[in-house]
Amino acid sequence: MSAPIHHTFGPHVDRRYLGSTLALSYLPWRYVRGKASYELKEALRTTFNAEPTLFASGRQGLLALLKALDVRPGHEIIVQGYTCVVVPNAIHAAGAVPVYADIDRETLNLTKESVEACLTPRTKAVICQHTFGIPAPVRELRELCTKHGIALIEDMAHVIADNRGSEGIGMHGDYLLLSFGRDKAISGIEGGAILSRNPETSRKLKEMERTALRRTWWEVARLLEYPTRMHSIVRPLSGTILFKPALWIMNRLGLIAPVLTIAEKQGAMSPLLWKMPNVCAALALREFKRLATINDRRRTLTDFFLRFGEEHDWPILKGITPGLALQKFPLFVHDAEKKRQLLKKENIHLDDGWTGCVICPVTCNLNNAGYQWGSDPEAEKASEQILSLPTHPTMTMAQALKLAKKIDALFL
């Protein structure tokens, strides 16, 4: 069976990443505490000219930031339709209300007009998501937020810009949100960061980081086993009859920590904050130092799909331009779910959790997320028609060509 084409089976786990994880696994005294956290923060501080704090996930970082901004019941936070459930969960956990603004179909991002239509005297902040690495109109949103005296939070979970392409990302936000999850721009297996350009908010965030709880040694050890299980079990078994039973057994035995808990899918988030484990910071730091290389790989794959699609008359989004380091390459197609199921039979797994749902994943509770169907028609149409192609660092050009030909055949 050929290697799977996928979004989620350890997309950062190549031999280098696996070797780093295995080496760190032999240093148990560094699992929870160590200097890697300080080194990662220094690298982030220097790169973004902002004060970093680290937490166990991006969603926890967002919750900490909203608390530091003195968000209270009745306050509103504007987010886009077509986002992950952890964003409204953090807003609710802070006591505020998420207000969903519609997206531009060609960029999958907020627009100045959609945000402006949602502003009220209760608006406290705007969370600007660079969906899949497509740049949002941050300059326009910066002007709008400054005019109304509200905070602009840039969600950079899908893209961390380097000195090439993705112009403007990370430059205009009062606060930057980074996630180091398994399929994000860079991966520490878990972890997240908030970068603050406001001294008072930075002080509050540092205090919350100082008092955050620590993962247990066993919890961190389980995280470190994730790359090996993806590389040695999940990928080899994909496309075989043993794949589903193996996943079921691993989940039942707690051998793979879930990305989202059942409670989170139902709209609940714990108010507790946790520190980013030291070894996760070490992995994220190694990836951050290789950011240009990782982004170059994404740029190469993005440009390939862009050229192939233009040559074969694919429905390319206008927001996708050469040189973008996309986290994934989105298309709009008819019968998207049917096409995913057909491709799955050939060991091509394109279900990335961002399909068939306006608040992702599809198993989340829309009512608890505070979303009313019909509110954001462009986001709803996009979620039903989207088919995304992988551009992660372990995706090969041979796989990209194979996938492009399969996609082209489905369009005919």
* Longest CA span, the chain: 58
Whole-number Å distance between alpha carbons of 400 and 389: 9
Instruction: For strands 51-55 and 192-196, give the pairing.
Output: antiparallel
Q: What pLDDT sits at residue 258?
A: 83
Contact 333/411 with Cβ under 8 angstroms? yes
Report helix, strand or coil for 386: strand
- Whether 141 is in a domain gets the answer yes
- How does pLDDT run across 100-128, given as a tens digit for each residue? 999 999 999 999 999 999 999 999 999 99
pLDDT value at residue 1: 61
**CA-only gyration radius of the chain, Å:** 20
Residue 412 pLDDT: 58
Residue 225 lies in a domain: no
Contacts of residue 295, Cβ cutoff 8 Å, sequence gap at least 6: 160, 161, 162, 164, 165, 325
Q: Pinpoint the alpha helices (H) of 117-198.
A: 138-148
Omega of the bond prior to 88 within 30 degrees of 0, cis? no
Tokens linked to 133: 């690495």
Q: Are 133 and 143 in contact (CB under 8 A)?
A: no
Which tokens sit at 378? 């462009």
What is the structure's pLDDT at 249?
87
Judge contact between 312 and 412, C-beta under 8 A.
Answer: no
Provide the pLDDT for residue 239: 86
Return the structure tokens found at 172: 């205009």
Nearest-10 Cα torsion for 214, 216, 222, 227: 30
Could you give phi then psi for residue 124, rounded to 5 degrees?
A: -105, -35
Closest to 58 (Cα-Cα) out of 174, 187, 198, 161: 187
- The answer as to whether 50 is a domain residue is yes
**What pLDDT, on a 0 to 100 scale, did the predictor assign at position 10?**
94
Examine residue 205 and state whether it is found in any structural domain, yes or no. Answer: yes
Q: Indicate whether 227 belongs to any domain.
A: no
Q: Is residue 154 part of a domain?
A: yes
Q: How many CB atoms lie within 10 A of CB 381?
A: 15
The answer to whether residue 295 sits within a structural domain is no
Query: What distance in Å separates the CA atoms of residue 84 and residue 81, rounded to the nearest whole number?
Result: 9
State which amino acid sits at residue 11.
P
Q: Report helix, strand or coil for 72.
A: coil
Contact 51, 195 (CB under 8 A): yes
- Examine residue 16 and state whether it is found in any structural domain, yes or no: no
Q: Would you put residue 153 in left (φ > 0), alpha (ψ -120 to 50) or beta? A: beta
How far apart are alpha carbons 90 and 67 in whole angstroms?
A: 10
Work out the burial of residue 100: count CB atoms within 10 Å of its CB; fewer than 13 is exposed, 13-18 middle, 19 or more buried: buried
Reference 196, options 65, 14, 94; nearest CA is 65
Q: What's the domain range around 97?
A: 29-211
The two counts, helices (H) then strands (E), for the chain are: 17, 15
Segments of the chain with pLDDT less than 50? none
3-state class (DSSP) for residue 359: strand
pLDDT tens digits, 184-217: 999 999 999 999 999 999 999 999 999 999 999 9
CATH number at residue 74: 3.40.640.10
Question: Structurally, how many domains does the chain consist of?
Answer: 1
